[in-house]
Amino acid sequence: MALIEAPKNFPTRLYINGEFVDAADGRTFDSINPSNEQVIAKVAMAGRKDLDHAMESARKAMGAWASLAPAKRSSLLWKVGDEIMKRRQEFAALEAMDSGKPYNECFNIDVPMTADHFKYFAGVLRSLQGETIPVNDGLFVYTLREPLGIVAGITPWNFPMMMAARKVAPALAAGNAIILKPANPTPLTAALMAECIHAAGIPAGVFALLNGKGSEVGQMIVEHPEIAAISFTGSTEVGVRMVRDAAPTLKKLTMELGGKSPNVVFADADLETAIKGAQAAIFYNKGEVCTAGSRLFVEAKVHDEVVEKLAARAGKMVGSDPLDDTCRWGPQNNKGQFDTTMKYIESGKKEGARLVAGGERMGDKGYYVKPTVFADVKPEMTIAREEIFGPVLAVQKFEAFEELVEKANSSVYGLAAGVWTKDVSKAHRYAKSIKAGAVWVNCYNWYDSAVPYGGYKQSGYGREMGLQALHALTQTKSVWVQL
> In this structure, are residues 126 and 78 in contact, taking their beta carbons and an 8 Å threshold?
no
Residue 179 beta carbon to ligand NAD: minimum distance, rounded to whole angstroms:
12
Backbone angles phi, psi at 198, to 5 degrees: -65, -50
Minimum CB distance to ligand NAD smaller for 92 or for 222: 222
Minimum CB distance to ligand NAD smaller for 322 or for 455: 455
Does residue 290 carry a catalytic annotation? yes
> In angstroms, how far is CA 414 from the centroid of its own chain?
15
Minimum CB distance to ligand NAD smaller for 241 or for 385: 241
The residues of the shown chain that bind ligand NAD, judged by CB under 6 A, are 154-158, 181, 183-184, 214-215, 218-219, 222, 233-235, 238, 241-242, 256-259, 290, 387, 389, 415, 455, 459-460
CA distance 155 to 161: 9
Enumerate the H helices of 201-259 as residue ranges: 219-223, 236-246
Crossing angle (nearest 10°) for helices 188-200 and 160-173? 30
Residue 141 beta carbon to ligand NAD: minimum distance, rounded to whole angstroms:
37
Residue 29 beta carbon to ligand NAD: minimum distance, rounded to whole angstroms:
11
| Options 83, 95, 195, 256, the catalytic residue | 256
CA distance 374 to 372: 7
Minimum CB distance to ligand NAD smaller for 256 or for 299: 256
> In this structure, are residues 323 and 96 in contact, taking their beta carbons and an 8 Å threshold?
yes
Minimum CB distance to ligand NAD smaller for 157 or for 368: 157
19-28: long-range contacts (C-beta < 8 A, 24 or more apart)?
19/204, 20/191, 20/194, 21/50, 23/47, 23/50, 23/212, 24/49, 24/50, 24/53, 25/49
| Options 288, 290, 299, 464, the catalytic residue | 290
Minimum CB distance to ligand NAD smaller for 120 or for 389: 389
402-410: long-range contacts (C-beta < 8 A, 24 or more apart)?
404/264, 404/297, 404/299, 404/430, 405/430, 405/433, 405/434, 407/262, 407/297, 407/379, 408/262, 408/264, 408/295, 408/297, 408/434, 409/262, 409/433, 409/434, 409/435, 410/379
Helix, coil or strand: residue 179: strand
- CA 185 vs CA 43, 106, 235: distances in Å: 11, 17, 15
Does residue 256 carry a catalytic annotation? yes
Residue 237 beta carbon to ligand NAD: minimum distance, rounded to whole angstroms:
7
Contacts of 428 (CB under 8 A, 6+ apart): none
Residue nearest to ligand NAD (CB): 214
Beta strand pairing status for 227-233 and 252-256?
Answer: parallel
Residue 325 beta carbon to ligand NAD: minimum distance, rounded to whole angstroms:
26
Contacts of 17 (CB under 8 A, 6+ apart): 53, 54, 56, 57, 204, 205, 208
CA angle 161, 101, 412 (to 5 degrees): 75
Minimum CB distance to ligand NAD smaller for 306 or for 465: 465
Contacts of 173 (CB under 8 A, 6+ apart): 73, 74, 77, 121, 122, 124, 125, 470, 473
Minimum CB distance to ligand NAD smaller for 48 or for 86: 48
Q: Which residues are catalytic?
A: 256, 290
